[in-house]
Amino acid sequence: MPKDAVQIFVDGSFNPDKKIAAYGLVIIKKDKVFLKDFSAYPYVDVTDSHNVGAELIGAKRAVELSLANDFKKLVIHYDYMGIEKFVIAQ
């Protein structure tokens, strides 16, 4: 991991009773919490994929927040194995 990179931890969840998917993320800069973000989604396009869709939205939001704060290097930690296959270079 690059020494000057921010670390981002992201996870998704799903509540089947309420049919709501959610994500949470935290950005760590120089071993301190820089920013926390979370959101819930009752929308079918997210809840159909349960926690996976929410985790993907959380990862996307992490990149958006990193760009907005001018972070050039980041490492995203996640537990859904395969999330990296959804990355699209632009």
What pTM does this model have?
A: 0.84
Helix (H) or strand (E) holding 66: helix 50-68
70 domain residue, yes or no: no
Domain count, the chain: 1
Q: Which domain holds residue 9?
A: 1-26
The predicted-structure confidence for 9-47, as pLDDT tens digits, reads as follows 999 998 989 888 899 999 999 999 999 999 998 867 766
52 domain residue, yes or no: no
The predicted-structure confidence for 46-90, as pLDDT tens digits, reads as follows 667 788 888 988 999 999 999 999 999 999 999 887 777 776 544
Task: Give the CB-side neighbour count of residue 20, counting CA atoms within 13 A.
Answer: 6
Nearby residues of 85 by Cβ (< 8 Å), 6 or more positions away: none
53 domain residue, yes or no: no
Q: Rounded to whole angstroms, how far apart are CA atoms 13 and 26? A: 15
